[in-house]
Amino acid sequence: MKAATCGRIVFGASAVLFGVIALMWHDAATWQNTQHLWSLPFGMIIGGCLMAAQIAGGIGIWHPRTARPASIVLGIVYLCFSLACVPDIVAAANIYDQYGGSFFLFLSLVWGALALYAATEANAARAVLLGRVARVGLGVCAISFTLGQALQLRGTAQGVPSWIPFSHMFWAILTTIAFALAAIAILLNRQALLAMRLMTLMVALFGVLAWIPRVILLPGNHFMWSELAETLLVAGAAWVVAESGDASLGRAATE
């Protein structure tokens, strides 16, 4: 197996960041929807173990020898995080979670972990199949990202840095349309690789332009750190799914 790719490095580093801040700051602002794990029997211990496993998995995917088991660990962790968001969907806590916003955010990370697992698969046909499943899964999540922004356009616009040219609403609408076009391209497998790469770039820019400056200005705000970590995790997941698509094309070409 090849050395860690850029997408895998970003995905792993973001996993480590999220796990570390969650263990450092055991509060709702950091854990957000995953705090529902605390309500389970031994929930504090379970949540802590999942965050520790996320850190171990994030480090493990950087190394060829441990990438396969680490991808499984991350897949399990993020599936648990997705399920922890279900209570907010049932309770319809807000319009974003009513339509599964946080659920699909963490589910996109599951597809990233699956794409990593596919990259370690020796059987070419199985690797291609797993890569396709990850791609379709990411496309479904992109639909949720579209709805999440469309239903909260004003909130999305407020997140646009003031120094960026044009109006905040312009960028909110433009990025929402971009998510919609990416979802269509990925699901229909028409220029899917390009769509995943551009979506990766867009989400990464959200982290760099919107959340990193806020973290620098408000280092004590745990919510900002959590949003930065989750944004970079989504960017990393989309990146590794795109890399899986590249690898699938390469394998298909050699068959």
pLDDT tens per residue, range 172-220: 999 999 999 999 999 999 999 999 999 999 999 999 999 999 999 999 9
Q: Give yes or no for residue 247 having a pLDDT over 70.
A: no
Integer angstrom CA distances of residue 207 from 68, 127, 228: 27, 30, 6
Q: Give yes or no for residue 229 having a pLDDT over 70.
A: yes
pLDDT at 255: 43
pLDDT at 244: 84
Neighbours of 34 (CB within 10 A): 24
Residues 80/103, Cβ–Cβ less than 8 Å? no
Kindly tell me the sign of the dihedral angle through the C-alpha atoms of 91, 94, 99, 105: negative
pLDDT at 89: 82
CA atoms within 13 A on the CB side of 102: 26
Question: What are the pLDDT digits (tens) for 107-157?
Answer: 999 999 999 999 999 899 999 999 999 999 999 999 999 999 998 899 899
Query: Which H or E element spans position 94?
Result: none
Q: What value does the mean pLDDT of the chain take?
A: 91
Rounded-to-integer distance, Cα 94 and Cα 98, Å: 6
Residues 49/7, Cβ–Cβ less than 8 Å? no
- Residue 164: which pLDDT band, with cuts at 50, 70 and 90? very high
Q: Greatest CA separation found in the chain?
A: 53
Q: Give yes or no for residue 9 having a pLDDT over 90.
A: yes
Residues 6+ apart with CB under 8 A from 164: 171, 209
Global pTM value:
0.92
- What tokens does 176 get? 């929402």
- What tokens does 62 get? 């950087």
Query: Which H or E element spans position 140?
Result: helix 124-150
- What tokens does 221 get? 């705000």
Question: What are the pLDDT digits (tens) for 10-47?
Answer: 999 999 999 999 999 999 999 998 999 999 999 999 99
pLDDT at 246: 61
Neighbours of 181 (CB within 10 A): 16
Amino acid, single-letter form, for residue 88: D
**3-state DSSP assignment of residue 220:** coil
Quickly list DSSP for 169-208. HHHHHHHHHHHHHHHHHHHHTSSHHHHHHHHHHHHHHIII
Question: What are the pLDDT digits (tens) for 60-90?
Answer: 999 999 999 999 999 999 999 999 998 888 8
Q: Give yes or no for residue 4 having a pLDDT over 50.
A: yes
